[in-house]
Amino acid sequence: MVFNTGAALLDAIVLAVVSREPEGTYGYKITQDVRKVLEVSESTLYPVLRRLQKDGCLEVRDVEYGGRNRRYYRVTPGGEAQLRLYIREWASYSEKISRIFAEVGR
């Protein structure tokens, strides 16, 4: 990865990853899923998840798992709307850049 991008894209990817699980998903799994597409460090996602939670894009609940409580994250309706916005923005942004690149190929 040679491109430097701001944190908004990471917000979008995290929201997308969490929204794939209607029942919610947990920190370790979110990190592993994001790492399949992006080389994020293990400590990157906590501040992002916490902020998205405070902004009302994510909601948390503790579910008992293996004798302890595991915190599950789920996208809120507000988070869904935010994710739709990100996806639209990304589509138009990447489409414009791809078009420029495609002209070079010809």
Q: Which residues bind another protein (CB under 8 A)?
A: 1-7, 9-10, 26-29, 31, 38-44, 46-51, 68, 70-71
Nearest to 59 by CA among 72, 46, 44: 72
Q: How far is the CB of 23 from another protein (least distance, A)?
A: 16
Q: With respect to another protein, which residue has the nearer C-beta, 48 or 75?
A: 48
Closest to 21 (Cα-Cα) out of 39, 8, 37, 33? 33
DSSP letter (8 states) at residue 65: E
Of 19 and 51, CB closest to another protein = 51
